[in-house]
């Protein structure tokens, strides 16, 4: 809400300038008078039927066995020439060298840049653009490529239906710092204000990606910022990447969306909310039953749960086997039922009951039947 309040005077000035000069509005924000609900008024594609991001309802995804693993090309050959990092007023951008690209898609794609989307530092608040079954992640990394087989450059490709391929990586917080992300986060303090840029040491871009590049979701969508062109073949990896809480805090608090000489507006919540899927299908590169994003914590819980379950079953089986072995017939089974066995003499029932009790394991240890387990 700070963002709206602080940027309002600035917006009014800008609005007057654009209306008096008759220039098209190219200024936009995530909230406020040129916030995402207004984008379509100024950038018609933002109101299209194939917008991004989307929420992925995993049960509605469709397995496509033809979707093979994606191959980053040259991502690790970063060379010695420094990368640059810049604050464009909406996010932090790292332009990528033209020899980096993607294999495993219908065309050859060349890397252009990568950037991030995040939340506002509040616990449990979202930050990712794509959501899985309604669940947000803390942040999201996008690596943008253009179709260099069909188009001469990014500017031309971004307006074409098959022009771009973007990799989406969901980021969550974990215990440990992610060393790869320090390559970016360490330098944010040098580009706090919109328009600033800094040279940074080149690094292995692939180290930012999850290790399993074979499991992903695929759909046709758009740029998630104005002008929202519907030109993106999306690949959203199902394995998430972890950064530490400290790293996330750095991302969420260091940058300003405002220029150096303007009132400070913290760059936060720079994510677009999920857009209607309409008649699109989201494909998955692996069969449906395993479509789920598991965190390390969840995996641990599942493993522990399964172990406990196995131990429990083993105990029960052992108990049953022991009980059966130690008795001469199935007659004894009623005595393991939770209902207490009446001790009062009932003519006719005496005999059977006595037999049952006499045949149980430990002699002299005549007890009430096993209590119900909880």
118 vs 259: CA distance, rounded Å: 20
**Contact at 8 Å (CB) between 258 and 14?**
no
- Among candidate residues 78, 90, 142, 145, the one labeled active-site is 90
Smaller CB separation from ligand NAG, 183 or 284:
284
Q: What are phi and psi of 135, to 5 degrees?
A: -95, 125
Minimum gap (Å) between residue 295 Cβ and ligand NAG: 26
Q: Which is nearer to ligand NAG, 143 or 157 (CB)?
A: 157
Q: Looking at beta carbons only, is 117 or 218 nearer to ligand NAG?
A: 218
Q: Are 237 and 215 in contact (CB under 8 A)?
A: yes
End-to-end CA distance of the chain: give it in Å, rounded. 50
Residues that bind ligand NAG (CB under 6 A): 152-153, 155-156, 218-220, 281, 283
Query: In angstroms, how far is CA 242 from the centroid of its own chain?
Result: 10
Cβ closest to ligand NAG, residue 190 vs residue 215: 215
**Smallest separation, CB 236 to ligand NAG (Å):** 11
**Kind and range of the H or E element at 131?**
strand 131-132
Nearer to ligand NAG, 177 or 283 (CB): 283
Calpha distance 250→191 (Å, rounded): 13
Q: Which residues pair with 131 in a beta bridge?
A: 55
Q: Which is nearer to ligand NAG, 187 or 219 (CB)?
A: 219
Q: Shortest gap between Cβ of 155 and ligand NAG (angstroms)?
A: 4
What residues form DSSP beta bridges with 116?
141
Smallest distance, Å, CB 216 to ligand NAG?
A: 11
CB burial string 283-318: b at 16+ within 10 A, e below: bbbbeeeebebeeeeeeeeeeeeeeeeeeeeeeeee
Burial of 363 from C-beta contacts in 10 A (0-12 / 13-18 / 19+): exposed
Strand partners, 337: none
- Which residue, 194 or 217, is less far from ligand NAG as judged by CB? 217
156 or 321: CB nearest ligand NAG = 156
Catalytic (active site) residue 245: no
DSSP-derived pairing of the beta strands 62-63 and 283-284: parallel
To ligand NAG, the closest distance from the beta carbon of 249 in angstroms equals 36
Closest approach of Cβ 147 to ligand NAG, in Å? 12
Give min distance, CB of 28 to ligand NAG, in A.
21
**CA distance readout (Å), 200 to 85, 182, 183, 191, 197:** 7, 11, 8, 11, 10
Alpha helices in the chain (DSSP H): 2-21, 39-42, 154-157, 179-185, 245-253, 296-325, 350-358
Residue 117 dihedral angles phi and psi, to the nearest 5° = -130, 145
Backbone angles phi, psi at 173, to 5 degrees: -95, 145
DSSP 332: G
- As measured in angstroms, the least distance from the Cβ of 153 to ligand NAG is 4
Catalytic residues: 90
């Amino acid at each position: 809400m700070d963002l709206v309040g602080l940027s309002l005077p600035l917006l009014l000035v800008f609005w007057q300038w654009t209306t008096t000069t008759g220039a098209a509005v190219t200024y936009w924000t995530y909230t406020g008078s040129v916030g995402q609900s207004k984008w379509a008024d100024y950038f018609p594609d933002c109101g299209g039927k194939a917008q991004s991001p989307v929420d992925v309802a995993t049960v509605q995804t469709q397995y496509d066995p033809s979707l093979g693993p994606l191959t980053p090309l040259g991502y690790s050959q970063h060379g010695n020439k420094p990368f640059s990092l810049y604050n464009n007023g909406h996010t932090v951008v790292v332009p990528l060298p033209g020899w980096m690209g993607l294999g495993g898609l219908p065309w050859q794609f060349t890397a252009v840049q990568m950037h991030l989307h995040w939340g506002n530092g509040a616990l449990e608040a979202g930050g990712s653009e794509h959501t899985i079954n309604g669940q947000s992640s803390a942040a999201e990394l996008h690596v943008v490529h253009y179709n260099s087989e069909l188009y001469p450059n990014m500017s031309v490709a971004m307006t074409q239906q098959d022009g771009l391929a973007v990799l989406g990586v969901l980021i969550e917080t974990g215990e440990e710092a992610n060393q790869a992300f320090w390559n970016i986060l360490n330098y944010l303090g040098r580009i706090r204000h919109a328009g600033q840029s800094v040279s940074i040491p080149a690094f292995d871009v692939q180290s930012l990606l999850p290790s399993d590049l074979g499991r992903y979701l695929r759909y046709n969508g758009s740029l998630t910022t104005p002008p929202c062109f519907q030109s993106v073949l999306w690949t959203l990896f199902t394995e998430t990447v972890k950064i530490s809480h400290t790293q996330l805090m750095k991302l969420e608090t260091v940058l300003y969306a405002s220029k150096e000489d303007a009132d400070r507006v913290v760059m936060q919540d720079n994510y677009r909310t999920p857009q209607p899927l309409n008649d699109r299908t989201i494909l998955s590169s692996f069969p449906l039953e395993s479509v789920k994003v598991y965190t390390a914590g969840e995996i641990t819980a599942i493993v522990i749960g399964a172990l406990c379950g196995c131990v429990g079953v083993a105990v029960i089986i052992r108990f049953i086997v022991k009980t059966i072995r130690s008795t001469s017939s199935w007659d004894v089974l009623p005595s393991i039922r939770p209902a207490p066995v009446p001790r009062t003499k009932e003519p006719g029932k005496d005999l059977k009951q006595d037999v049952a009790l006499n045949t149980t394991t430990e002699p002299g240890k005549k007890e009430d039947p096993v209590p119900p387990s909880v």
